[in-house]
Amino acid sequence: MPKRVSVDKWLFAPTLLLVAIGLIMVFSASALTAEANPNYHSAYYFLARQALWAALGVLAMFVLMNVDYRRYRAPAVILPLL
């Protein structure tokens, strides 16, 4: 069994910071458009959609952080993903 390695905080924190900045940019760029269009019903429409995808991405990151990276070298893992 491989030794459990802790999370690299110097890499993890900027990743989450970039996700947060991206959400702010999406809201900044789309709030007026979403509010002006009656199909979207809210200025937060695009922010909510992007936040959902960001949360799913962060969840996937947490799951994949717990998988030994050497398992990704197996053709049984790579070929279905391709």
Which residues 6+ apart lie within 8 Å of 19 measured at CB? Answer: 54, 57, 58
Report if residue 25 sits inside a domain: yes
pTM as predicted: 0.75
Domain hosting 33: range is 9-81
Classify residue 67 as exposed, middle or buried by CB count within 10 Å of its CB (0-12, 13-18, 19+): exposed
Q: What residue type is 64 in one-letter code?
A: L
The pLDDT score that the predictor gives to residue 3 is 66
Report if residue 26 sits inside a domain: yes
Tell me how long the chain is: 82
Report if residue 3 sits inside a domain: no
Instruction: Find the mean pLDDT for residues 4-22.
Output: 87
**In 3-state terms, what secondary structure has residue 24?**
helix
The pLDDT score that the predictor gives to residue 19 is 94
DSSP state of 34: H
- What is the phi/psi pair of residue 15, to 5°? -65, -50
Report if residue 4 sits inside a domain: no
Q: For the segment 20-79, what is each residue's pLDDT rounded down to a tens digit?
A: 999 999 999 999 999 888 888 889 999 999 999 999 999 998 888 888 878 878 888 778
What total of structural domains would you count in the chain?
1
